[in-house]
Amino acid sequence: MTSARLLAAGPVKLRAQSLQTCRDRQVHSVVGCSNQQRNSTLRWGRRPATKVEAVSEEVVDSVAGNGAQNGNGTVPHTATIKQSTLSVHAGESGGRCKVADSLTTPICCTSTYYFQDTAELIAYQEGRYGSYEYGRYGNPTTRVVEEKIRELEGAEDCLVSSSGMNSATTMLLALVPAGGHIITTTDCYRRTRQFIQTVLPKMGVTATVLDPSDMGALEQALEEHDVSVYFSESPTNPYLRCVDVPRIAELCHAKNTPICIDGTFATPINQRAIDLGADLVLHSGTKYLAGHNDVLAGAICGKSDLIAQIRAMHNVLGGTLDPHAAYLMLRGMKTLGLRVEHQNKTALEIAKRLEHHPKIERVHYPGLPSHPDHHIAKEQMKGFGGVVSFEVRGDLWTTAKFVDGVRIPYIAPSLGGVETLIEQPTVISYWDQGPEKRAAYGIKDNLIRYSCGIEDIENLWDDISQSLEQI
């Protein structure tokens, strides 16, 4: 057989530049050269490894005849090594092909990682050898996602998980002890509120719920309680309220209370809350980060000591991000800046036009001077986001008629993707709550949440206009 680019060598020790970089970030060498192309032991004993400098079409021939030579050495075909064993190990057990020159990050599909010997395992356990142990504790593909988000947010560390809610609940369970106290804000994602109000009380955890702009109430709550964490979205869902992060940081840090800001609606393109004083930033990666409505993911980043606590809880609870989903996030984040810039412009223009439309009662968008937190948004944000909330002049069914009348957006409960989405929160998120509970949460029957995609702005506006004409 011809093996164009294979050069026989002694055992490969991947220790220099690429491996050192991996170790610095606690990243295993799987992406650089899987498992160091080291010697492996099967029933036929140890074999010399080979160094793979490149991979040609001729690297692997069929497993047949008296022996099968591959990129990792010769696997003897003997009476003791059966076909079933070869089907598992041949071509892989001596080391995988070099993939460090791949332009895109490879998808590392493995549930576990092996060690050459006990000494290497002990070195890993003592932090002297950079690797992974088990898929729930880390993966090279997902680690690249964490590094990308960490740098985008200017954080010390990052942890990704299977959804935004998983990141939020894991963070709260990790940082809030039994009998602890949380401060949060009135306008927030329904499931976050549900977890704080129905699950955490089983642990004796209590909460103070404040208007996002009420600094006096925040000071009072910090005086009256030993607060475990302050947690708020900014902008919030669905009214896009913005909290004064520097002022909140000043008040909370004086009481040694960590601050977590959910920046899903902002993205790190528009706002870096850590630069403003936050200790942690949380994202539903499903939304703008991934950006294509095809993956569920969550992320939390910030101070390394806090992320370490959250990671320890994550390792117990699970909620691991699949490496395929991690790859989709990586692909999506390549165009994050381009998408968000377009969505910012589209949302601002639509908000301005809606504010002057006779069939619109009120527009909620932090980029408008009429928004109660416009002054905060101007100080903290480079752009105001791609979501516009507004109230139609009419009742529930008039509003529903408008929703049904648009032709471009999909009626769906999400945001931040390339497709424009529209929803009536009363129907899609709070229908089971009844009018009284919806009123208590501030959810109006005529409220619309409109998440701009990357379509042409004039097409979107013409579509909105024609639907408004029908009501």
Is 430 marked active-site? no
Look at residues 453, 434, 452 and name the one whose alpha carbon lies nearest to residue 443: 434
Clarify whether 189 is annotated catalytic. yes
SS3 424: coil
In Å, what is the CA distance from 77 to each residue of 38, 69, 82, 85, 380?
21, 10, 8, 10, 67
Residue of 189, 230, 288, 365 marked catalytic: 189
Tokens of 145: 């996602």
The span from the CA of 196 to the CA of 172, in Å, is 9
Instruction: Judge whether 94 and 40 are in contact, CB under 8 Å.
Output: yes
392 with 359: CB under 8 angstroms?
yes
The answer to whether 242 touches 380, Cβ cutoff 8 Å, is yes
How many H helices and E strands in the chain? 19, 18
d(CA 224, CA 36): 56
Q: Is 393 a catalytic residue?
A: no
- Indicate which residue of 47, 51, 96, 136 is catalytic: 136
Q: How far is CA 326 from the centre of its chain?
A: 9
Number of residues in the chain: 471
Tell me which of 157, 262, 373, 445 is the catalytic residue.
262
Task: Give yes or no for a contact between 139 and 162, defined as CB atoms under 8 angstroms apart.
Answer: no
Active-site residue, selected from the candidate residues 148, 241, 287, 444: 287
Active site residue 241: no
Please give the full DSSP string across 32-90, using - where no structure is assigned: HHGGGG---EETTEE---EEES---TTS---S-TTEEEETTEEEE--SSS-HHHHHHHT
Q: Active-site residues: which are they?
A: 136, 189, 262, 287
